[in-house]
Amino acid sequence: MAKSKGISVVEAYLVAYNAASFVGWAYVLVKALLYLSVHGTNLDGLFDSIGSALIFVQTGAALEIVHSLVGFVRSSAMTATLQVYSRLNLVWGILYMFDYPEVRASYGLVLMVLAWCITECVRYSHYALSLLDIEVYALLYLRYTMFYVLYPAGVTGELLEIWAALPHAAAISSWFWVFLVVNIVNYPPVLYKLYTHMIRQRRKILGGGADNNKAKAAKPVDPVVSKKKKL
């Protein structure tokens, strides 16, 4: 049920941001699925079909760092930075930079894009509705369950993309190659940090066993959609 007392300016902005982000990721997902349904394993035109929209919507996620820094949400700016940085590196530092089939027409790209899109469609729709006090338990459950599969799937796709870009980065600069290798080395600890964070959040919000019944009636204690004073 929607709020009866209205929402603050910050909340209205966050609703609009999350709704727009959902639409953007849903658009990329539909475009990717339509391409795959028509062309199957011929991935030569996949990036041409989704690339601009993918880069645009992912770049927009950088605002989440700003939201944390200015106090619009209670989520950690460091966690937001870790989540956004690797993706910006992939869309701008790899996909935008290297127009090669092994980078732009690979199964790694498919795995990465589908994992990102599904994750973000659920995440942003859940956030937008939560800000309006509309509870959809299915979204809440998916938000704190699908990561078990989608995080490893997305990371696998990301690592395949970085690996494919290494020879081309080396041709530009040895420092660029080293930079990408350092990113690969950093993936395990960063994934562990984000993965365990989500597991803790899942236990806190969904609980286990009999606690799941209580979760259905409870408000999602999600730091990203936490309420602020009205402006």
- Cα dihedral sign, 139-145-151-152: negative
Residue 95 DSSP one-character state: I
Distance CA 173, CA 178 (A): 9
Q: Which of 11, 120, 158, 161 is catalytic?
A: 158
- Whole-number Cα distances in Å, 80 to 7, 38, 145, 194: 24, 36, 19, 10
Task: Write down the catalytic residue from 13, 27, 151, 195.
Answer: 151
| Three-class secondary structure of residue 41 per DSSP | coil
Name the 3-class secondary structure at 199.
Answer: helix
Q: Which two tokens stand for residue 39?
A: 């062309």
Does 151 qualify as catalytic in the annotation?
Answer: yes
Q: Is 11 known to be catalytic?
A: no
**Residues taking part in catalysis:** 151, 158
